[in-house]
């Protein structure tokens, strides 16, 4: 079942793809669009990458609005199907709300600088050079792996579990599971460690061993911090985002369906 949100003021965010621009032209005369600062909700035209950029911009501004995505990109996992002729205001108001809690990454570099970034999909640690990374992995202040030798490791949210995490053979997490995926990337040692599923209340700390010889970068979605010494990762409960989905096309259904894809 959908909802009746009662949104009246919508802002339109448009990616630079030809399909998105063409769709924007079709929608321009359909609704009296307002600037995002005045809006009740946002309509984003593009693909998953563009949706992530719109959500990150809202986090950066501290103005978090419900966001209804229209797929004018490729995969469109976070988006709704485009249906020509359907009134956009009606679709947004009938949509179902799904709450998404991003990760908060605090990365400390080798020279002591601190960087705090949010990630909606995943935080990944990746080797910068040809040598494998050597990483110590702690969960809730308890060392779980003294030395993980790998190309890297990532922590994924349920919303991001079908992205980079799935490509690294990590588990798909149902949206309401309140879990995180901790997934190695091309692990060499421990060779048989395939990762862990953790409660989303867990606090994860990853420390880089031999950083001068084996430098590591940390990436929160699309934001990279290089030459890190340590990274702490936990859910940013004060920054919950709201995605809007058409009835029958919600994100939790897509996560289930993805597990049966052939």
For the segment 247-261, what is each residue's pLDDT rounded down to a tens digit? 876 666 777 777 777
The pLDDT score that the predictor gives to residue 141 is 96
Residue 93 in marked binding region: no
Average pLDDT, the chain: 92
* 151 assigned to a ligand binding site: yes
At 134-150, the pLDDT tens digits run 999 999 999 999 999 99
pLDDT for residue 11: 97
In this prediction, residue 1 carries a pLDDT of 44
Handedness of CA 20, 23, 29, 33 (dihedral sign): negative
- What pLDDT is stored for residue 149 in this prediction? 97
Q: Which of 32, 40, 48, 90 is catalytic?
A: 48
Domain with CATH 2.60.200.30 in the chain: 103-238
Going by CATH, does the domain composed of 103-238 fall within 2.60.200.30? yes
Annotated binding residue 163: yes
State residue 89's pLDDT score. Answer: 92
Q: Enter the DSSP assignment of 237.
A: G
Question: Any binding-site annotation on 133?
Answer: no
16 annotated ligand binder? no
The pLDDT value given to residue 262: 63
From-to residues of CATH 3.40.50.10330 in the chain: 10-101+240-258
3-state secondary structure of 239: helix
**Mean of pLDDT values over 48-68:** 92
Superfamily of domain 10-101+240-258: Probable inorganic polyphosphate/atp-NAD kinase; domain 1 (3.40.50.10330)
- pTM, to two decimals: 0.85
Give burial (CB, 10 Å; 0-12/13-18/19+) of 112.
exposed
159 has a pLDDT exceeding 90: no
Residue 90 appears among annotated catalytic residues? no
């Amino acid at each position: 079942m959908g909802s009746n949100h009662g949104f009246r003021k919508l802002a339109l965010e448009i990616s630079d793809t030809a399909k998105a621009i063409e769709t924007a032209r079709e929608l321009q005369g359909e609704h009296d669009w307002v600037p995002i600062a005045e809006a009740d909700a946002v309509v984003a035209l593009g693909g998953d990458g563009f949706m992530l950029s719109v959500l990150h911009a809202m986090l950066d501004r501290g103005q978090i609005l419900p966001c209804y995505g229209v797929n004018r990109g490729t995969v469109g996992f976070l988006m709704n199907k485009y249906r020509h002729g359907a009134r956009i205001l009606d679709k947004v108001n009938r949509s179902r709300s799904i709450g998404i809690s991003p990760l908060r990454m605090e990365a400390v570099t080798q020279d002591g600088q601190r960087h705090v970034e949010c990630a909606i999909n995943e935080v990944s640690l990746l080797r910068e050079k040809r040598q494998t990374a050597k990483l110590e992995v702690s969960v809730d202040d308890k060392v779980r792996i003294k030395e993980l030798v790998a190309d890297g490791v990532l922590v994924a949210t349920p919303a991001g579990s079908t992205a980079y995490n799935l490509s690294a053979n990590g588990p798909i997490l149902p949206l309401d599971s309140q879990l995180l995926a901790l997934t190695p990337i091309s692990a060499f040692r421990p060779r048989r460690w395939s990762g862990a599923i953790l409660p989303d209340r867990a606090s994860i700390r990853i420390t880089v061993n031999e950083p001068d010889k084996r430098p590591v970068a940390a990436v929160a979605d699309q934001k990279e911090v290089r030459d890190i010494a340590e990274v702490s990762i936990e859910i940013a409960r004060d920054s919950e985002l709201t995605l809007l989905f058409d009835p029958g096309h919600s994100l939790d259904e897509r996560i289930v369906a993805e597990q049966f894809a052939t």
